[in-house]
Chains A and B, each alone.
Chain A
């Protein structure tokens, strides 16, 4: 039986608190024991435009946006215009009667729920800005939710702003709840019922969880220049720096960001930076510096469609080849890619250990689709994580040689102030770090650095994840945030499996080959034009994937599109 999912979309202008209202609803549903996925679309501006947030609620796991909505909240006329063809029979449309709406073109089989949102907000002692609280209150009534759960949440969210703010919000929520019950109780649905067993869960996106991962791993220094879609990483870090004793610095540009982070790392601090493709472009010269100096560094690249400024507030996966090849010359780099917030947390924590162990830059790829889409998940348990700083000494050593030759390619590093003399050198260098153009030094140091990648490939578990049966009629291979939509889509396809790759460098060649070599039909799915992963697979395994399902319009894959694709590929074998 198909999974039951209830989706609600709030549409309106930037500045109307749409995302905030969506997050409140997501947290309410999560507190009631439901699974939740939120999805947002918005243009690159602060006020106006058309913004939407979708909240999908289910008793089972829900990891992707949906194309249909059972409930709409239209905070402006534009929402009705833009989505005119999406209002299905029986859908609820809640709108603000304080604004003038033209409902004439809308499917007559929908249920209109006119609520004077602004007026009720004012009646509650607030201002029009609290219309979203009134709306969520009305939703609680319409979806059979316990208003007290919403009130408790409002207290948790606004408590630090004072009792009065909480009281006004409580009153606004109550007004919306009462109005909806009074006028539309016949259209009430049981969606927000309380589950019997409720484990403690949280609602977060990958920006949050990257910041969590960094803090959990003992982050000491972060320099991040604001850029969509990763700015929220720096917001979380900035807010928590005193609590955890690290420094977040806003630098003058991305070049300063990465050089500061390298400087702090050179001095001995666990360091990171984060950016999107454009900022990463500016960081490229220092990416190679970090590898040349063998200074650990974690870099988060939150992908959005490019080139140039591209589509700042949309999602893409066009940076894979870029981060794998950026910079002149040869050097070892580790590149990981996360598919959901939990994976982003785990890979970020791991990235810090990898950077320290292999003394080289580690890039973690995320994309807007997970950076900004909150979903419910169990509170993370990372009790098995241990900080590993690799070969690092802060004690004075006799005849210390920072770049001494070693079988695994990894030399012991030290920090300034330790009494050990060494040079972190951008130039090719001797084992101490002095400039050198001697053939022996050049060859030794290049081989030593590159050996680290071999050591890494041999020592780390780089395995991709296989979801679904070992033996399948169709194998989807993909990476990054497509994971959520693919997993959602293949729930109804017992003969389809999905290979999710998280290590891009070093590439898990044998493991990928072992799955794909026996696959009957492979579909490679990516949000880019050139099928970057497909190329990488071919380069490493020799397997050419001809069925590339690609999307580069800034929108993520919707499960509905994947279902359609699967039905076209294997109609008689699926479902």
Chain B
């Protein structure tokens, strides 16, 4: 079984002390140990941003691709080898701004992948500009007079786009987050986890204290299969009303489940071989 030590790459994190990424890292490694995710069964992808550094600190084969493009990279990997657990680390700038098109289309196709969205409502790595999650009026280096744009909710967007597992957690709830990662990976289909991740350097508004004060878990009787209930809850935001937990979860065939070519074996389990085209050529005579 995977041990915590097996996951060490020897690289030291470059994240700021107190960064939410550190807690997400811890939760992810705990989930790896709990579920036995390692180089034989799992692959990680990330976009570009503070979140992407994660790949240097978890010893599991991975791709750190382009800003905003972790989702198509991940879905390409999944289609080629649908036996792998595929995780996507992405940020709010990465998936809601640069890669917004991929976010919507990945959700609607229900690829069997788990997306961990590091939601810090700021551009951290580029030193503090407004993100699609920053609230209206938010002051940053790019919006010194206050943000005019309205923020978007990744939870609402994911539900509207057709994701079949949509949840939110606060980064520092490490045990709950680890469990959520495991549940999301168990789910057959696109799982989106919006992780509220304080940026201690650039976002004074959404700090640890803010999330500790203003989040609550969805009640036991929240109907996860109800699109209406999920939407309604996803629209909640603000003081004392930031819901955590699984908003929405339904069973729908995953994208990969619907491809006959990979029913028996993954694409990469069948050796690459020259093909006989005589039947095809016949149609052109």
Partner of B61, one of A200, A202, A269, A420: A420
Contact B66 A246 (CB under 8 A): no
Residue B259 at the A interface, CB < 8 A?
A: yes
Contact A218 B272 (CB under 8 A): yes
Bits for A200-226, please: 1 = Cβ < 8 Å to B, else 0: 111110001000100111101101000
Query: Which A residues lie within 8 Å of B59 (CB)?
Result: 421
Query: Which A residues lie within 8 Å of B81 (CB)?
Result: 267-269, 415-417
Residue A333 at the B interface, CB < 8 A?
A: no
Residue B48 at the A interface, CB < 8 A?
A: yes
Residue B209 at the A interface, CB < 8 A?
A: no
Contact A245 B270 (CB under 8 A): yes
Which residues of chain B in 1-19 are interfacial with respect to chain A, using CB atoms and an 8 Å cutoff?
9, 11
A244, A380, A417, A426 — most chain B CB neighbours (10 Å): A417
Contact A266 B63 (CB under 8 A): yes
Q: Considering only CB atoms, which chain A residue lies closest to B103 in the complex?
A: A252
Which residues of chain B in 47-89 are interfacial with respect to chain A, using CB atoms and an 8 Å cutoff?
48, 53, 55-56, 59-66, 69, 71-81, 83-84
The prevalent SS among residues of A at the interface is mixed
Contact A260 B73 (CB under 8 A): yes
Query: Which B residues lie within 8 Å of A380 (CB)?
Result: 277, 281
Contact B267 A208 (CB under 8 A): no
Interface size class of B (residues with CB under 8 A): 35 or more
The prevalent SS among residues of B at the interface is mixed
Interface size class of A (residues with CB under 8 A): 35 or more
Bits for B235-272, please: 1 = Cβ < 8 Å to A, else 0: 00000000000000000000000011110000110101
- Given A417-B83, A427-B64, answer yes or no on A260-B75 (Cβ-Cβ < 8 Å): yes
Q: Nearest-CB distance from B69 to chain A (Å)? A: 4
Residue A255 at the B interface, CB < 8 A?
A: yes
Q: Nearest-CB distance from B167 to chain A (Å)? A: 24
Q: Considering only CB atoms, which chain A residue lies closest to B74 in the complex?
A: A263
Contact B285 A200 (CB under 8 A): yes
Query: Which A residues lie within 8 Å of B259 (CB)?
Result: 247
Q: Nearest-CB distance from B97 to chain A (Å)? A: 14
Q: Considering only CB atoms, which chain A residue lies closest to B264 in the complex?
A: A245
Q: How far is the CA of A221 from the CA of B76 in the complex (A)?
A: 8
Residue A59 at the B interface, CB < 8 A?
A: no
Partner of B56, one of A208, A263, A417, A435: A435
- Given A221-B79, A267-B81, A423-B63, answer yes or no on A31-B285 (Cβ-Cβ < 8 Å): yes
Bits for A223-254, please: 1 = Cβ < 8 Å to B, else 0: 10000000000000000111111110101110
30 contacts between A and B (CB under 8 A): A212-B281, A223-B72, A243-B279, A245-B270, A246-B267, A249-B79, A253-B101, A255-B102, A256-B101, A259-B69, A259-B72, A260-B75, A260-B79, A266-B73, A266-B77, A268-B267, A285-B66, A379-B285, A386-B274, A416-B39, A416-B42, A416-B43, A416-B81, A417-B41, A417-B61, A423-B56, A426-B65, A434-B9, A434-B11, A434-B56
Knowing that A255-B69, A260-B79, A417-B83 are A-B contacts, what are 5 other residue pairs whose CB atoms are under 8 Å apart, sorted by A's residue number? A208-B284, A259-B76, A416-B61, A421-B59, A423-B55
User: Taking beta carbons and an 8 Å cutoff, which residues of B are in contact with A?
Assistant: 9, 11, 38-43, 45, 48, 53, 55-56, 59-66, 69, 71-81, 83-84, 101-102, 104-105, 259-262, 267-268, 270, 272-275, 277-281, 283-285
What 3 pairs across the A-B complex have the smallest Cβ distances? A263-B76, A260-B76, A267-B80
